[in-house]
Amino acid sequence: HHFPVDRRSLAAFIRTSVLGARRAVESEITAHGADVLHFHQPIGAFGVLTSTLGRRLPSLYTFHSPAPLEYRSRTGMSGLHRGGLVGRAGAALLWTLERASLKRASRIQVLSDFSARLLWDLYGISGERIVKIVGGADVERFHPGGSREAQRQALGLPSDRPLLFTLRNLEPRMGLDTLIRAMATVRERFPRVLLLIGGSGSLRPLLETLTISLSLSEHVRFLGFVPERDLPAYYGAADAFVLPTRELEGFGLVTVEALACGTPVLGTPVGATPEILEPLDRSLLFADVGPTAIADGIGRFLERSEQDPAVVRDLRRACVAYAERQYGWSRSVDALEDMLGTLTEKNVTATGAVRCVACEAATPLRWFRHRGEDYRACPACGTSVAAKLPTAAGLRHFYEVEYPARFVRPEVPASRLDLFGELIARLGPPRSRRRLLDVGCGPGHFVASAAAAGWRAVGLELAAEMCAAARTTAACDVVQSDSVLLPFDTASMDAVTFINVLDHLVDPYGALAEAHRVLAPDGLLVIRVPNGAFHRRATQFFSMLGRRGWLGKFGAYPVFHVFGFTARGLRRLVERSGFHVLSLRNSPLSAEGPSAADSRAPGLPRWFRGAGETVAATLHAVTASRCLAAPSIELYARRLGDEEVPPS
C-alpha cells in the first residue's frame, strides 16, 4: 500500500507518515485480517503500534539502523535533514519515536551483533526480545555468471584493466569521498586501475568535482542508478568490490551479494562488516576508514592478484561457498518465517507477556487445563483463550464436515425457541424493513424466529451444507462467508447477532469490527456466550472432585471453546470495537453451541437448573447487575456514530 506524505518539513513528514501508515494498515487488517505485523522503520511502526487494531497483534521490528543517527549523518542533504538546533530537535524526535516503537514491538530482529550493541547503547534494549537473523542474498540470482572477461564485454567494460566496483547511496556516511582520495594513491602503483561507482544521491556533484580535481576522470566512472537485473554482471565483472563505509553499516547486503557472485569484498572495519569478512579472510578488512588505509588494502589485493592469480581464484571460489553456506536467501527466509510463526503461535507482547484479546491487558496469563486442553486466563478481566488456536484449515474442516453432521436438526425444542424469542424481544419491535444479520446462524432457527418477529433476517454461515439447511429452516437469505469478511455494504444492517458464536472465533475482535462496519449508526448488537467466569469456577470445583466430577448428570459442563469471555472482558472487547454497552445480563441455562445439543442443558436435573438460575438472579439483583453468575451471559449494545465519543 502506498500513501502520500507531506515533505515540506520534518514535523509534517512524521505526522503524515504516522497517520498514513495507521490508516493503511488498519484498512488492510479490517479487510483481510492479519496474524502478525512486520516493521522496518520507526515512523510507520509507531503509527500502527499505537492504533486500535495494530497494538493487539504480535509484531516483529527489523532494526536496520538507528533512525536518529541516520538522520544526523545526512545533515544538509535535503530540506528535511537540518543542522543546528532544529536538526538536534529532529534527531531527538526520531529517537523518541523509534524507542516507543521498539518498546511496543513483540520481538526485534537484528541482522548483526553490531546492531544488537546499538540497541543497548541507544535504547537500553537487550535480552530475549532480540533475535539475530542475518540478511541473505538470492544465490539463484547472485552467482558466478561465466568468465569475468565475458561479463565485462557484455557491459562494455575494458577487459585489460584492474576493475573495482562499489554500489552505494551517494551520501556522506558511505565514505565515497575517502575512496576517491584513496584512488589517487592506488593510481600511482596501478596506472590502469578503474573504479566504478554505482548509485545515486545528493553528493554526486561534489564527488564528481573531487574526481576532476584529483585528475581521476580516467580512473573513476560514475554509473548512476544500476538496475537490479544488471547487478550480478557488475559484481562478477569486478576484480574486487569495495565497501568504504564511514559509519552505521548495520549489515551490508551488497557485501554478501558480491561474495555470492565470487567477488572478494574489501571493506572498512565499520559496523557489521568485520562480522562478515573476518571468518572468510581477515586480510579483506582495511586497517581503518582513512584514505591511506583504504589505498594500502586495495594495493595489497591488486598486487596479490598479479603475483599469485591462483590464490585469488581460490579466494573467489571460497567467497561463493561462504555466501551460499552462511548467507543464502533460503536460510534467512526460513529463520524469519520461523520467528513470525512463533510470534503468531504465542501472541507475545513487548514484555514477554500475552496481550488479552478482550481487555488488551499485557500481563503474564495464568494457565489451567480442561479435559486435556491447555487454556490461559487473563488476570485483569478473567477471559480465557485456548493455548493452541485452531488453524484455518482445521476450522474449515470442522464446520464443513463435523459440524453439519452433528447439528443439523429438523426440530428444535420449544424451550430453545423461547430463548430465541426473548433475545429478539429485547431488541424492541422492528420498524419497517429493518434488517438483522445473524452471524453463525447454524441450522437457521434464530433467523427463522427473527423473521417471524418481523425482521428482514439474513443468516451467515461458513459451511455450504449448513447454509442449505438454514435456508430450508428459515426460508430466508443465508450467505456463505467468514465472520471477518462480511459480504454486505457498510451501514446496511440494523441489528447484528452472535448467538453462541463469538467464543468459537479465532478473531473475535475482527468479527466485531466487521459488525461495526455493516451496522448503521445506532444499530444494535446482541451477543450470547458462555460465562467464562462461571465455567472457570466450575472447572476448579470439578477438578477437586476428581474424575467422578465429570461423570453422570454433569458430563456436559464446564464449557470452554476457543475463548471463555467473562462479563468484564466481553464488555471491554465490545466497547473498544466502537459500541456502547446498553446491558449485560444473565442468560437462561441452555446448551452452548456446537459442542452441545440444541436443547436446555440436557441431563441436568430440574432442581439443579432452578437452583442455579435462582442464585444467579439473586446475585445479579443484590450486586446491582455487577455480578453475573449464570452459565451464559447476554450483551446488548448500540453502535456509536463515527464521530461519537463513548460515554464514560
Q: What is the pLDDT of residues 247-276, one digit of tens each?
A: 888 898 999 999 999 999 999 999 999 999
Residue pLDDT, tens place only, 170-224: 988 899 999 999 999 999 999 999 999 999 988 999 999 999 999 999 999 999 9
**523, 639 Cβ separation under 8 angstroms:** yes
Quote the CA–CA distance of 19 and 566 in Å, as a whole number: 34
86-107: string of b/e by CB count within 10 Å (b at 16+)?
A: ebeebbebbbebbbebbbbbbb
Quote the CA–CA distance of 82 and 84 in Å, as a whole number: 7
Q: H or E element: which one contains 87?
A: helix 84-104
Phi, then psi, of 560 in degrees rounded to 5: -135, 130
| Distance of alpha carbon 220 from the chain centroid | 44
Which of 51, 24, 50, 67 has its CA nearest to residue 103? 50
Q: Give the neighbor-by-neighbor strand order of the sheet with 519-530.
A: 477-480, 456-461, 435-439, 493-499, 519-530, 632-639, 579-587
Q: For residue 622, give the amino acid letter.
A: V
Quote the CA–CA distance of 373 and 187 in Å, as a whole number: 73
Which of 54, 504, 374 has its CA nearest to residue 365? 374
Between the CA of residue 309 and those of 143, 224, 296, 306, 568, what are the distances in Å?
A: 20, 31, 19, 6, 75
pLDDT value of residue 484: 76
Alpha helices for 484-588 (secondary structure H): 508-518, 532-545, 567-575
User: What does the block give as the cell for 626?
Assistant: 455487577
Question: What does R_g of the chain's alpha carbons equal in angstroms?
Answer: 32
Quote the CA–CA distance of 8 and 424 in Å, as a whole number: 56
Nearest 5°: the CA angle 596, 514, 4 is 150
Quote the CA–CA distance of 225 and 499 in Å, as a whole number: 60
The CATH number of the structural domain formed by 10-132 is: 3.40.50.2000
Which of 66, 68, 67, 60 has its CA nearest to residue 108? 60
**495, 552 Cβ separation under 8 angstroms:** no
**513, 482 Cβ separation under 8 angstroms:** no
Nearest 5°: the CA angle 228, 232, 238 is 125
Nearest 5°: the CA angle 414, 416, 419 is 115
First-residue to last-residue Cα distance in the chain: 36
Burial class (CB in 10 A: 0-12, 13-18, 19+), 72: middle
Task: Please tell me if the domain spanning 148-326 has the same topology as the one spanning 409-639.
Answer: yes
3-state secondary structure of 520: strand
User: What does the block give as the cell for 607?
Assistant: 432442581
CATH 3.40.50.150 fits 409-639, yes or no: yes
**pTM for this entry:** 0.55
Neighbours of 372 (CB within 10 A): 5
Q: H or E element: which one contains 24?
A: helix 10-32
Neighbours of 273 (CB within 10 A): 24
pLDDT value of residue 571: 96
The residue ranges of the chain whose pLDDT is under 70 are 1, 74-83, 345-354, 362-373, 391-397, 402, 404-412, 432-433, 539-560, 589-629, 642-648
Quote the CA–CA distance of 403 and 237 in Å, as a whole number: 63
Homologous superfamily assigned to 148-326? Glycogen Phosphorylase B; (3.40.50.2000)
Neighbours of 321 (CB within 10 A): 13
pLDDT value of residue 463: 81
Neighbours of 594 (CB within 10 A): 18
Q: H or E element: which one contains 433?
A: none
**Residue extents of the structural domains in the chain:** 10-132, 148-326, 409-639
Quote the CA–CA distance of 616 and 620 in Å, as a whole number: 6
In the chain, helix, strand, coil percent, each to 5?
A: 45, 15, 35
